[in-house]
Chain A
Amino acid sequence: MATAAEHQTARSEPGVTGTDAASTAAYESAFDAAVAADERIEPRDWMPDAYRASLVRQIAQHAHSEIIGMQPEANWITRAPSLRRKAILMAKVQDEAGHGLYLYSAAETLGTGRDELLDKLHSGRQKYSSIFNYPTLTWADVGAIGWLVDGAAITNQVPLCRCSYGPYARAMVRICKEESFHQRQGYESLLALSRGTEAQHAMAQDAVNRWWWPSLMMFGPPDDESSHSEQSMIWKIKRHSNDELRQRFVDICVPQAESLGLTLPDPDLSWNEERGHHDFGPIDWTEFWAVLKGNGPCNEQRITQRKSAHDEGAWVREAAAAFAAKHGEAKA
């Protein structure tokens, strides 16, 4: 079995070019062996084109989700009901912009650029998580997003800390730490509402009712309809199937909902002794595909805002570039 060191050697051997079939085969087997041995693939290593493309798609979509995901929460910054909650929310939205930056950098190590990725987001050629197409209608939605949406994201992302691609795995380690913090704050905010006045409790329950099913959809289509899953698992980009992670999330949330004093909006939810898991009701996949295809409640609004921020900021970016050119400053 080749080690990462040998793999590196194969990559950097003088006179060998990737165009000749024999050396391509050698690269491929070194790559496969490195992945099989749980070694990290690094930016300068040879990798199959499809692996590169798959990672660019996934990391870009992840980065886009962070920056589109700022909108539903930023919607409440100016209305946060206490200065403490306002500070927490501002810090969270700031972290999300930071996560977007880490992830665009990780994607750039694969030979693409942030401008190109943003262009694909703005033109709809790359997607972001379907969850951010739902509106934040009350303050409790901010707590529900922290608890459920960040909770689902963490369940999805913790295994990515062991992803085969080094820069992505390292970005995920940093991101998961911050996300866990946000998730606890979201839970704590919902708890305050749940234990607060009757109106606050009702607000919290209503938010959980609206965010529960969309959160389950964050794990993606069922395993038999997930087009990228199988290859991603072979490449160790992905470690667990969509349905497996979704089940894990449900099992985590049920006792948390109980201690919050809130119910989950699923009459079929029950403990299955034999499986050692909670059974849960059917997901409305028609809604999922509709949102994914652009017909959710806020798809249009989210992209329009993102594009207008970008377009209205064009003169600022141009100014920074012109100034840098004049003064030899690094591009802002």
Chain B
Amino acid sequence: MPESGSNRVPETGAFFQRDRTWHPPALTPGYKSSVLRSPRKALLSFDNTLSEISGPVFGHAMLGELDNDLIHNFARPGESAVGERIIVNGRVIDERGVGVPGVLLEFWQANAGGRYRHKKDGYLAPLDPNFGGCGRTLSGEDGGYAFRTVKPGPYPWPNGPNDWRPAHIHFSVFGHGFAQRLITQMYFEGDPLIWKCPIVRGIADKAAIEALTAVLDTQATIPMDALAYKFDIVLRGRRSSLFENRLEGN
């Protein structure tokens, strides 16, 4: 058994089913590239087997000192990225409200002007020589995590003739089981572009969109240094163990 990054006894129950009316559906025609990339046939449903209940774990040994500091992890010595300095912090919890410790979070984003360091991004806003745009960390014993970055800018994209993405940070999160695997995007409180974005509007429920909107967190700011936003991530909860006396779990 690998190092789990946590002292908690591993749970082995099946995960709560996903509410696919809460998530965006596969086909959201306002987001044009979903049209040819969405399955047309129904998904095959089955309760989790060990293949979905188990999942990889990642240890602290893989992390570098600056992995959770996007202001400095690509910058030249003594320099730092340009932009609004922020701390993003929150907890990874499951649907039962329980912290999910020892899980890998990865983030990526554009720079303060909305430009990605990627050869497919041809936006005329310039690259920042001191900003790469990737970071990662592991959640702590209570599921808490934090990283430091600059606030990304909005950017135009070729969907409608005048579509702009709201400022956002992409998140990739592992849970304790592969069935909890999730990629999502974090938006910023008060951004008027959120409600116009076809990717955001693929989500039907306003409350679900609000669940992806980080709130200004003045208590976590560092005075004279960085503002802070709070963003909690909720992963699927799980039933009690498959391998205890009830074969089916409960």
Instruction: Say whether A associates with B.
Output: no
